[in-house]
Structure 1
C-alpha cells in the first residue's frame, strides 16, 4: 500500500501484519485523492469484507 500513496505525493511506511500505515502528507499533495485508498484498500474493495 505505501506505493499507492507515493503516487499521490506522500511518503510513509506500513506494517502489513497490523494493517497500519503512517503517512507524511505535504501541503502540495492532492488531499482530495488520499482518503479513497484508506477507505477502500489497494484493490478498491470495501475494507473488512470477506
Structure 2
C-alpha cells in the first residue's frame, strides 16, 4: 500500500486526530510546570519570529 500526500493531509486535518493530539499535548504540558513554561516560551518565540518575517 502506498501512502500519498493526500492520505497524510486527510489524517492531519481530521478533527478526531487533532482533538486527540491536543488533549495528549495538554496532559503532557500540565504534568510539570517546567513543561508549561517551555511550551509558552516556544510559542511566544514562534509568534515573534513569524511577525518579524511579515
Length-normalised TM-score, structure 2: 0.29
The structure where strand makes up a greater share of residues is 1
Q: Which has the higher contact order (CA 8 A, sep 6+)?
A: 1
